[in-house]
Structure 1
Amino acid sequence: MKTATRTLPSDQVLGYAELKNDLLFHRIPCSKRRYYVERPLSIGREKALEYKARYGTDVGAICRDRGIRVSLNERQGTVGQIRFRAQIELSSQERVITLYKSSMEELRQCAGVLLPGRSFSLQEVTDIHLAHELFHDLEFTELGYTNKRLDDISSLSLGPLRIRASVAKTSEIAAHAFSCYLLGLPCLPNLLDYAYMIHSGTLTAAGFWQEMERCSEALENG
């Protein structure tokens, strides 16, 4: 019942939670972490509003106009222990977004864990993931990958040698923002991933809110 009275995490907090999943997060200076959250949020939001002005929320129409083939797979997308809800194949010959219907249905059923009173149809959940993958197509064809557009960080030091790398998760943050603002969602859609974890028992609701508080404090102190 407590989740019903809580304020949803901000874009910045959910973006920071995504950033923490980056393999090089520990190498990002604390003073730069807000930059790696706010810049990709801005990139995704700006592109979403541009497309929304032309298409509304019809993400399928955007894909058709861009020549992207959308495939709905009835099965679960699994590789070993990893489960996919959607994936995109990009090449100069063909661009295909594959959506896994059973995984979408699972996510639809558990959305209310963190969004009480807000139900999602299967089409809405599908559109969320379609928009996310569409953004990666935009990166591939015209924008350039978000992580490559932002500052690199020092990933390894070997004496005087400094090896630099990009922060890969910034591309995911931008895609979350694109999906959110194109479709008019109440928050970044990675909230649904946490709802699924709570629903499946791999995370408690209390643990989720504690993590959001830690992310908020880290942003404030960064």
Structure 2
Amino acid sequence: MNRTAATTRLGDKVLAYSELKNDLLFHKIPKDKMIYYIEQPLAIGTAKAGEYKAKFGTDIQAICRNRGIKVVMNERSGKLGQIRFRAQIELSAEERVITLYKSSMEELQQCAGVLLPGRAFSLEEIMDIHLAHELFHDLEFSEIGYTNERLDYISSLSLGPFRIRASVTKTSEIAAHAFSRHLLGLPYLPNLLDYAHMIHSGALSREDFWKLVEDWSAELDNYC
């Protein structure tokens, strides 16, 4: 598959699959259930985005205010060891707070167009993408239930006659990506920006990224 062909395959299912592969229990997912753990969270996030867009439009800041969510801009990078946070949400019965890390947002803005030639992102757009993502997690917490807990559990460990079952946690992230994409009218799931950042930072080459897209597509074809 050449790069042009790979680009045509870079749709929601392929990017959702790339997220699913990061789940700690990915290797435990039955092959005949793989598409289920892609399509179901995509459908959940997309449906909720349509509902919210129809009711409230796309002003994420206003939606957060309406829901009583406090948005905090932190000037720091949000780096903890080798882990870099761009946004995080704290949820409790008393308070819900979304924190955005400004320098991380600015860094992502600089490289966001790496995989989308001609598509520039403003800092506000980058912030809105992350706000929408965290807003969905607030909806999971307060209204609809966590996506991974709504979907079928899988057998994660067997101890003689006993089986331990667990949820596929990355399905919650896939649903949040879909919510953000469809609420804001993005061309792709926003986890594409993670790969743009990796390319920009030198952690991944463009050629290797498109090779990954080919591999993901081929693997998905085997599950269909």
- SS in structure 1 at match of 2:204: coil
CA contact (8 A) 1:37 1:173 kept: yes
- Deviation track 1:98-133 (CA, whole Å, cap 9, x = no partner) reads 000110111111012101100000000000000000
CA contact (8 A) 1:74 1:100 kept: yes
Cα RMSD after superposing both structures: 1.2
Q: Aligned letter for 1:86? A: A
- Deviation track 1:4-52 (CA, whole Å, cap 9, x = no partner) reads x943610000000000000000000111111000000000000001000
Distance across 2 between alignment mates of 1:29 and 1:6: 28
Distance across 2 between alignment mates of 1:215 and 1:18: 11
Unaligned runs of 5+ in 2: none
Moved more, 71-80 or 186-195: 71-80
CA contact (8 A) 2:9 2:217 kept: no
1:101 aligned to 2:102? yes
Distance across 2 between alignment mates of 1:78 and 1:93: 27
CA contact (8 A) 1:59 1:130 kept: yes
Q: Aligned letter for 1:49? A: G
Moved more, 11-20 or 156-165: 156-165
Distance across 1 between alignment mates of 2:9 and 2:89: 29
Distance across 2 between alignment mates of 1:71 and 1:173: 24
Unaligned runs of 5+ in 1: none
- SS in structure 1 at match of 2:79: strand
- Deviation track 1:155-195 (CA, whole Å, cap 9, x = no partner) reads 01112111100000000000000000000000000000000
CA contact (8 A) 2:16 2:174 kept: yes
Distance across 1 between alignment mates of 2:152 and 2:88: 27
| Runs (4+) off by over 2 Å | 5-8
1:127 aligned to 2:128? yes
Alignment correspondent of 1:41: 42
CA contact (8 A) 1:8 1:187 kept: no
- Deviation track 1:41-81 (CA, whole Å, cap 9, x = no partner) reads 00000000100012221111110110000001111102221
The aligned runs of 1:83-98 (5 Å cut-off) are 83-98=84-99
The aligned runs of 1:195-210 (5 Å cut-off) are 195-210=196-211
Distance across 2 between alignment mates of 1:215 and 1:28: 16
- SS in structure 1 at match of 2:112: helix
Distance across 2 between alignment mates of 1:82 and 1:37: 26
Q: Aligned letter for 1:59? A: I
Q: 1:147 to 1:85 in 2, by over 3 A?
A: same
Distance across 1 between alignment mates of 2:79 and 2:67: 28
Alignment correspondent of 2:83: 82
- SS in structure 2 at match of 1:21: coil
Alignment correspondent of 1:18: 19
Distance across 1 between alignment mates of 2:177 and 2:9: 15
Distance across 1 between alignment mates of 2:151 and 2:216: 21
Instruction: Tell me the TM-score normalized by structure 2.
Output: 0.96
Distance across 2 between alignment mates of 1:56 and 1:217: 37
- SS in structure 2 at match of 1:113: coil
